[in-house]
A = this chain, B = another copy of it.
Amino acid sequence: MNFPSKLIEDAVTEISRLPGIGKKTALRLALHLLKQNEAVTEALALALSRMREEVKYCNTCHNISDQEECSICLSHRRDRSIICVVEDIRDVLAIENTNQYSGLFHVLGGVISPIQGIGPDDLKIESLTRRVEEGEVKEVILALSATMEGDTTSFYLSKRLKESGVKVSTIARGIPVGGELEFTDEVTLGRSILTRINYSQE
């Protein structure tokens, strides 16, 4: 594309660096901002640079925070004996939205992926074992994606945490609520039979 303005071209180039946004969408967004009041663009630019410069990560669980410790780790209402291990902050938000969990979190910052060159040392695993060794924790819930990388990471973590004697669990894999049996893939269906829940024990 031959842009009539270097300013537009620069903006389009920078916007299209974002994931999932191509040149055409970037141009649409830039022209939208031009049509709006100047304050809209100013607010966006300021919010972005402030976020990038000032955001902190919780020293304990590596969740995003405005202070040294995040609001979940500081809260007195949370059950400090359970840690839920997740891949990134979006998972924290997703689990918080369920209103089904009141323990603490630990954000790994990714999963083990040899293809992408991410090994255990690139993740916040050391600080997790340290938290577990401090003694207050009774259970670690592994809430990682049901992918090969997620399962590899879960397996690695469960081995690393074995010595500490803490209970290690993983979130259930099975048929999604509302899902129909005949449309569920074989692997999921097979697993859901193997890891069936005993009604009488429940």
Q: A11-B51, A32-B18, A48-B41 are in contact. Are A65 and B2 (CB under 8 A)?
A: no
Contact A48 B51 (CB under 8 A): no
- Chain A residues close to B by CB (< 8 Å): 1-8, 10-11, 13-15, 17-20, 25, 27-34, 38, 40-56, 63-66, 70-72, 88-90, 92-93, 96-97
Contact B63 A43 (CB under 8 A): no
Measured CB to CB, the nearest residue on chain B to A92 is B4
- Give the 10 A-B residue pairs with the shortest CB-CB distance, closest first: A41-B52, A45-B45, A11-B51, A14-B47, A45-B49, A14-B44, A7-B51, A11-B47, A10-B47, A5-B64
Q: When chains A and B are docked, how far (Å) is the Cα of A31 from the Cα of B27?
A: 22
Contact A47 B97 (CB under 8 A): no
Measured CB to CB, the nearest residue on chain B to A32 is B19
Residues of B within 8 A of A1 (CB): 93, 97
User: Contacting A52 at CB < 8 Å: which of B2, B42, B89?
Assistant: B42
Closest approach, in angstroms, between the C-beta of A150 and any C-beta of chain B?
18
A-B contact pairs, 9 of them (CB 8 A): A1-B93, A2-B96, A4-B92, A5-B55, A7-B54, A8-B51, A34-B64, A44-B45, A45-B49
Among the interface residues A14, A19, A97, which one has the most CB atoms of the partner chain B within 10 A?
Answer: A14
Measured CB to CB, the nearest residue on chain B to A97 is B1
Contact A31 B89 (CB under 8 A): yes
Contact A42 B51 (CB under 8 A): no
User: Contacting A49 at CB < 8 Å: which of B6, B41, B53, B55?
Assistant: B41
Q: When chains A and B are docked, how far (Å) is the Cα of A122 from the Cα of B13?
A: 31
